Structure 1
Amino acid sequence: MLATTLSPTRQTRLTVGAVDTVTYLAAGELYGGRSFLQNPSWAQVKPDWRPELLAWRDADHEIVGTALVLYRSVPGLKRYFAYLPEGPDIDWTDASLERWLTPLVEHLVEAGAFAVRVGPPPDLRRWKASTLKAAAGPSLRIGDVLPDLVEPVGSSVTDRLRSLGWTRCADGGDAQPRYVFHVPLPSLDGVLTAMNSEWQRNLKKSVRSGIETRIGDAGDLPTFYTLLQTTEQRNGFRLGRSLGYYERQYRALNAEADGRMRLYLASYEGEVLAAHTMNVVGRRVWYQTGASASHRRDVRPSHALQWRMMQDAFKHGAAYYDMRGISDCLDPERREFGLLRWKLGTGGDVVETLGEWELTLPGVVNQTLHHAMRRYRAR
């Protein structure tokens, strides 16, 4: 977690340059642990992007920040859009953010980038589950509800990015979720106590039904993918990812560190009814993708699986279990509210991130290319 107060301005000049994978991975705990999207293995999941590992160094040549940059080329031109998903991993509490961002921009210009998008890790606002459940109503969005907490670092970073010329992506324009769900892990008893009566009842039902959970391996990915297709069809959404995508992700993340991506399965009478993936980096844990069958939902395999994953996250030392993205819809009549309602039942917190921010790099041609790219994305 980032500090909640701003650190004093440091005058030391910082430089940015490329580093090798071993050096990069060794600097993974500078500010409490980076996102799995900022690890070198994530670049292998995105083969259409060219990766570069960067490090900030101080006057003593010590590494004080890192970033995985993904470059996407413009067809026919040696010009690139640079993307730092959920990064960079720098000291966002520094009151002089330009010390960090200016050398990054200079490096990207030299690399041929015409624009850059970053995903600052600080949180912006928080809502307790009880607050949002009480506020739910027709046509409401999470942003319409007064938050329980406004994070001072996030608010300050927002103001400073704007003053430096960065623009926050419009609602719906982020590549990564703007709203995420965190389940605090003070103790396993504490997690159970925070759950609402429906969640507690469904967990007991899964135990009585005899649901069995286990960690699978690469050979179980086809089963997971079949269940995912069923889930997409049932819930009316399409992730657009192939089985090969998940096989590549599983292979790349676990080659970097054993157990970095885990596949959990829940079975009833020998049949797998639910399969969920979890990513682990340091002491941070993320639930990424969930899939389940459309039959025998009465035995609650997904509830059993989530509880097993929360238990493992606690044993791993995680401060919270990150259930990743949610819709900001608070209208009980809309389909997308269903998943949020399911997560709210755990008693966790909805967290609004800073979202993603873009900057057009200096140059008239860069402005033209970035404008054209935005118009293309909008279409």
Structure 2
Amino acid sequence: MLSEVETRPGVLEIGVIAPGEYQALADLHGGRSYLQLAAWAAVKAEWTSELLAWRATDGTVVGTTLVLLRRLPGVSRWYAYLPEGPDIDWSDPRLERWLDPLLEHLDRRQVFAVRLGPPPALRRWQAATLKSAGAPGRQVDDVLPDVVEPLGSAVVERLRTLGWSRGGEDGTGGDAQPRYQFQVPLAGRTDAELWSGLSKEWRRNIQKGEKSGVRIRIGTEADLPAFFQLLQATERRNGFRLGRSLAYYERQYRVLNAELQGRMRLYLSTYRDEVLAAHTMNVVGRRVWYQSGGSANHRRDVRPSHVLQWRMMSDAHQLGAERYDMRGVSGCLDPTDPAFGLLRWKLGTGGELIQTVGEWERPLPGPVNQLLLRAMTRYRRRG
């Protein structure tokens, strides 16, 4: 039931919604991100949270969002973050009908600033377009996109008009979630079409791995330590750090699967009974995500990750997912830059690189809220 409802003529009503009702409304506007699940609040244990719903005048829920709330140390006010949300009708030319009630509610909640991540895409590049575009010093933004999304462009314009700033502008910090994401469309495609969509190199590597004896199995929570060891090995090998602990993934596995069994899955790629690669997958409605993965430094010649990803993509297709989301990639197209390696690998799936509209931020009215936002940005960068 909706509670703490705030109303005003001419705008939508907003208020807290119960987890059970929230969970049942996952596909209002194209599919909810796993970062907007009710259970995700328990994954982010260092944050407080609130589930909100927008309702029309007849009481029908027309939009939802998970809001994560965090205090700046020593301050009694809150910073609000809506990762890859809210789930509202972004095509509405009057976005203030949605965002003004949200800001008013959060102001009453003693929030000093809000960051949100609108889901609409801004531009798209097909794998074939980017495969031939690599060059020293080149970035994805230097390449003419295959598609410029009118909705994404309109959302950017409307948010600026309403006083929101892009992450990174005005000293507010960059995006917390990847702005460049790689996705493989699945809807309306047969298994044979998915296979033919892979590059020749990918098909050859999958066949080589399967012929060599690579096998895939679904793991359990007990296999998470093996996954985490492989993830750490990959971080060291490729020079990046996600900054997550084994306890983080164990908590995520427990709470997501407690909400719905099979929501988070662990896939293991084995060769002669040794785990050589392990990847996690999240399932929400019409979308499936490959979230994190790692592989060993040895026996890479049997291509355990290629076989593993093909199995995950095939399973996502069998589950009826419309898209297989491989999450973030760099915007770098320089073959000499290590950051290009992950994008090059994902291009082999034949999917598309999507640039989202990015994250947007706004301090609430108040004499010190802009200063508090800058202080929170510095604090987040340290942690």
1:31 aligned counterpart, secondary structure: coil
**What is the one-letter code of the residue matched to 1:178?**
R
Preserved contact between residue 12 and residue 58 of structure 1 (Cα < 8 Å): no
**What is the one-letter code of the residue matched to 1:177?**
P
Partner of 2:309: 306
1:40 aligned counterpart, secondary structure: coil
Partner of 2:202: 199
1:96 aligned counterpart, secondary structure: coil
**CA shift at 1:319, angstroms?**
1.4
Partner of 1:87: 85
1:17 aligned counterpart, secondary structure: strand
- Structure 1 pair 148/338, CA: closer, same or farther in 2 (3 Å)? same
**CA shift at 1:196, angstroms?**
1.3
Structure 1 residues 1-379: aligned runs within 5 Å = 13-170=11-168, 173-185=174-186, 186-377=189-380
Number of residue pairs aligned between Structure 1 and Structure 2: 369
**CA shift at 1:289, angstroms?**
0.4
1:314 aligned counterpart, secondary structure: helix
1:72 aligned counterpart, secondary structure: strand
Structure 2 unpaired stretches of 5+:
1-8
- Structure 1 pair 324/15, CA: closer, same or farther in 2 (3 Å)? same
Preserved contact between residue 12 and residue 59 of structure 1 (Cα < 8 Å): no
**What is the one-letter code of the residue matched to 2:59?**
H
> CA offsets, 1:329-361, max 9 Å, x none?
100001010111000111110000111000110
Partner of 1:6: none
Partner of 2:6: none
Preserved contact between residue 270 and residue 276 of structure 2 (Cα < 8 Å): yes
> CA offsets, 1:57-85, max 9 Å, x none?
11001110001000010222220110000
Partner of 1:4: none
Preserved contact between residue 53 and residue 68 of structure 1 (Cα < 8 Å): yes
Preserved contact between residue 50 and residue 67 of structure 2 (Cα < 8 Å): yes
Preserved contact between residue 184 and residue 191 of structure 1 (Cα < 8 Å): no
Give the Cα separation in 1 of the matches to 2:244 and 2:327: 18
Preserved contact between residue 136 and residue 330 of structure 1 (Cα < 8 Å): yes
**CA shift at 1:367, angstroms?**
2.0
Structure 1 unpaired stretches of 5+:
1-10
**CA shift at 1:375, angstroms?**
4.5
Give the Cα separation in 1 of the matches to 2:240 and 2:206: 27
Give the Cα separation in 1 of the matches to 2:270 and 2:381: 43
- Residue range with higher mean Cα deviation, 364-373 or 310-319: 364-373
Give the Cα separation in 2 of the matches to 1:375 and 1:336: 25
**CA shift at 1:237, angstroms?**
1.2
Give the Cα separation in 1 of the matches to 2:354 and 2:210: 31
Give the Cα separation in 2 of the matches to 1:128 and 1:106: 41
Point out 4+ residue stretches in structure 1 off by more than 3 angstroms.
374-379
Give the Cα separation in 2 of the matches to 1:166 and 1:278: 33
- Residue range with higher mean Cα deviation, 28-37 or 252-261: 28-37
TM-score, with structure 2 as normaliser? 0.94
